Amino acid sequence: MTKKLGKILVIDDDEDVLLAARLLLKQHVALVQTEKNPQLIPTLLKNESYDVIFLDMNFTRDVGSGREGFQWLSQILEIDPAAVVVLITAYGDVEMAVRAIKEGATDFVLKPWQNEKLLATLSAAINLRQSRLQVDQLRSRQQLLSADIDQHFQGFVGACAAMQKVYATIQKVAKTDANVLILGENGTGKELVARELHRQSPRANEVFISVDMGALSETLFESELFGHVKGAFTDAKEDRAGRFEAASGGTLFLDEIGNLSLPFQAKLLTALQNKEVTRLGSNKPRPIDIRLICATNMPIYEMVAQKEFRQDLLYRTNTVEIHLPPLRERVEDIPLLVDHFLAIYAKKYQKPVKPVSPAALKKLEKFSWPGNVRELQHAVERAVIMSESPALQPPDFLFTAPETKEDSLVFEDYNLEDVEKVVIQKALSKHGGNISHAAKELGLTRAALYRRLEKYGL
């Protein structure tokens, strides 16, 4: 037997109407409550939550005008904004129906009703009520999560002068719609800055969409960013909005923008200039309203000079720039960061918070941290999991790169090719595999470094 769903309230001053409604509806729903006196509506709504309310338009005081029905409709929606109200009357006309819908009613039925019509209206109304409750639940959950997780600067740890400058810039720029370009090495927290800009902006209650431009293949670029229509390509089985449309009203974060090829830079620039996108396979432009934040770990100004990045796109994206310092330039923040990550991972893995020995802390402060804060975070997580000593000691922190910036180069012989290979390996290790930074230190273009990597099989 199918479980009956729904709680229904019927309000009408006609006893016969109430009886007919009760006899019909109780076969299909879990609860049918009827009431002759509309003055009891506030009490009824206080004591019970109804999925659908059938409300008479005309009571004995004002037969025919529907004035009382509109008054009670307004009061019901004030008490429960998610209420689904279906108005019923024997004096309905098109004008009254239109006004009822405009003022918040879901539907409008005439007496005497047809049972099939009333049941169809009821089914649609119950579905609408469930949808409204789900939306309210999701909105409440999001607000609670935002309040709990997205406190201002909650993800930032650092007291050094460079980080204080970053915080001050965020606070100044966040309240505007200015485009922001965040520059910094991998692992310095560029996405944290982007999210903080969003959280402190007037768009904070809207969506934040993040796109890793470096992970987008050329075949997916337009579809992912601008969307597509059904049939635009082989797997396009339905219309789909791209990231620009999805972010409209909120913030769009384009990470690793320096990885874009010149043709895609041109397409991106066109969308930003025109404030509209055209889905792949369509000729119809769609307006967009976004706050744009971009980030890159690449030497963007050198790329402009070498014609690898469009100057006009750089100007379009960097109304304000925020430079994030690498961890090796904010060594004084390492103890704060270590304490922060220790608290997080001790709780996550249900371990006691262990002190860090002076020797271990000195080891951490001497390391060059090519992976920056992200690498330190992973090192602390490993130490929390693996350490068996009462306090964290130097051996508990393992590094995959050389431990100090002063490490000397060692050559097996002085063959120039062998020397060049070792130097390239050292440069790549120092910069965490970042081709642009390694090439800069070696005095090479990226293309020249790529040729040598291929030559030496690196």
| Chain centre to alpha carbon of residue 265 | 24
Better-predicted residue by pLDDT, 442 or 89? 442
Please write the tens of the pLDDT for every residue from 239-283. 888 899 999 999 999 999 999 999 999 999 999 999 999 998 888
| Nearest CA-CA partner of 58 in 72, 69, 74, 47 | 69
In this structure, are residues 310 and 261 in contact, taking their beta carbons and an 8 Å threshold? Answer: no
Residue 148 has pLDDT above 70, yes or no: no
Q: What are phi and psi of 313, to 5 degrees?
A: -70, -35
Domain with CATH 1.10.8.60 in the chain: 327-396
Q: What are phi and psi of 52, to 5 degrees?
A: -140, 140
Domain with CATH 1.10.10 in the chain: 416-456
The reported pLDDT for the residue numbered 64 is 54
| pLDDT mean across residues, the chain | 86
Please write the tens of the pLDDT for every residue from 322-361. 999 999 999 999 999 999 999 999 999 999 999 999 999 9
| Chain centre to alpha carbon of residue 180 | 17
Please write the tens of the pLDDT for every residue from 186-224. 999 999 999 999 999 999 988 899 999 888 887 788 888
Domain with CATH 3.40.50.2300 in the chain: 7-138
Rounded-to-10 torsion of CA 229, 235, 237, 239: -20
| Chain centre to alpha carbon of residue 219 | 24
The reported pLDDT for the residue numbered 57 is 81
Query: For 143-257, where are the E strands, in sequence order?
Result: 180-183, 208-212, 251-255
How far apart CA 343 and CA 347 sit, in angstroms, is: 6
Better-predicted residue by pLDDT, 327 or 434? 327
Residue 405 has pLDDT above 50, yes or no: no
Percentage of the chain modeled with pLDDT above 90? 50
Which tokens is 305 given? Answer: 């000079």
Domain with CATH 3.40.50.300 in the chain: 161-323
Least confident of 76-80, 423-427, 428-432, 448-452: 428-432
Domain 327-396 has CATH 3.30.70.20: no
- Say which CATH class 161-323 falls into: alpha beta
pLDDT interval class at 149 (50, 70, 90)? very low
Query: For 184-316, where are the E strands, in sequence order?
Result: 208-212, 251-255, 276-278, 285-287, 291-296
Better-predicted residue by pLDDT, 10 or 448? 10
Domain 416-456 has CATH 1.10.10: yes
Check: pTM over 0.85? Answer yes or no.
no
- Say which CATH class 7-138 falls into: alpha beta
Greatest pairwise CA separation for the chain in angstroms: 107
Which tokens is 388 given? Answer: 């068996």
